[in-house]
Amino acid sequence: MILKSSFFVSLLSVILLCSCHKREKSISFYYWKTSFHLTPQEINTIRNNKVTTLYVRYFDIDMAPEDATPKPVAPVTFDTTRLFFQVTPVVYIKNRGFVKLDSTDIPMLCDNVFKMVTAINKSIHKSPVEVQFDCDWTVTTKDKYFLFLRRYKALSKTIISTTIRLHQIKYPDITGIPPVDSGVLMYYNMGKIGTDETSSIYERSIADKYNSFIKSYPLKLKAALPIFAWGQLISGDKVVKLLNGMNYNDFVNDSNFILIFKNRFGVKHSNFHGGYYFKQNDEVKIEQVPEADLMEMIDQLNRESSGHIDQLIFYDLDQSNLDLYDKNIFKKMVDRLN
């Protein structure tokens, strides 16, 4: 009897130990508009997927030709009646700002960014524990960007994360490891925009060139996945314009366009559509990521990250993007994570 009791006590201890070490997997979204206002469908998506934090773009850092230094531009405005979740500020920094920036100007830039982030936080009565910076830094700008990150962390005393592109995953010895607490692997926009049949958003053959390097990257990673669509306006066998926010449904029922291939439309009559001008005989190539490809992305991340990715951040929360998918897709994807 004593031996049997000891066995069950030991078994219970093992079960409790395993449950304590079970990873909590979660879903979040980027919000990338200059005006924060959630639609009923966006609110339902947040609630139905138990989203506790949104990654909200606060403003950009850019440098116009007439500017001496980069500065914050296009700050977000909030509808504060819909903030029933935590917010992680995201600051998008255009790399060209660091190209011309002198290292001695970084403390002032950092101070300005900190002040604006703090002001927006106060306006919405939030105290975020993390700030994320989105910058596709290069070999020539990494030292300045990393100096900025170190300075901001010392100033803010908060968790600092940054976006990481696949080429930075593959060549860390060249591009450097940013001095942050964690990274977000941007698992999209991996191809080139062009007139051929490949997708610039996701191509397995391109991803396979980088995937094996994910597990050895020294930073803790989350993964950002694409749920957006866009079009490419093709004229004279060249892509002349990127049509942000436009998808297949925007063209399929418009008599000014004709479907000439599975994701390509011909312009039958010159017209204005969705704020863009389309000239007769031009073409529109639509890129959006089907559910099967999203599930394939999860399988690749499971295999190549050794199961260390526990949060998915979808780009981006917008009703037009949500309309492209079944409402249960996000739960299916996070459940598929190892």
Whose CA is closest to 153, among 180, 127, 133, 176? 180
Extract the tokens encoding 191.
């191809």
Q: What percent of the chain has pLDDT over 90?
A: 87
List the chain domain ranges: 25-227+289-336, 229-287
Q: Is the model's pLDDT at 23 over the cut of 80?
A: no
Question: What is this structure's pTM?
Answer: 0.92
Residue 42 DSSP class: H
Q: Is the model's pLDDT at 15 over the cut of 50?
A: no
At 222, the amino acid letter reads: K
**How far is the C-alpha of 175 from the C-alpha of 238, rounded, in Å?**
31
**How far is the C-alpha of 225 from the C-alpha of 91, rounded, in Å?**
18
Q: Is the model's pLDDT at 22 over the cut of 60?
A: no
Would you call 332 helix, strand, or coil by DSSP? helix
Q: Is the model's pLDDT at 171 over the cut of 50?
A: yes
* Fold category of 25-227+289-336 in CATH: TIM Barrel (3.20.20)
Q: Is the model's pLDDT at 61 over the cut of 80?
A: yes
Whose CA is closest to 153, among 177, 173, 133? 133
Residue 213 DSSP class: G
Contact 239, 193 (CB under 8 A): yes
Q: Is the model's pLDDT at 232 over the cut of 70?
A: yes
In which band, very low, low, confident or very high, does the pLDDT at 6 lie, cut at 50, 70 and 90? low
Per-residue pLDDT reduced to its tens digit, 64-122:
877 888 999 999 999 988 899 999 999 999 999 999 899 999 999 999 999 999 999 99
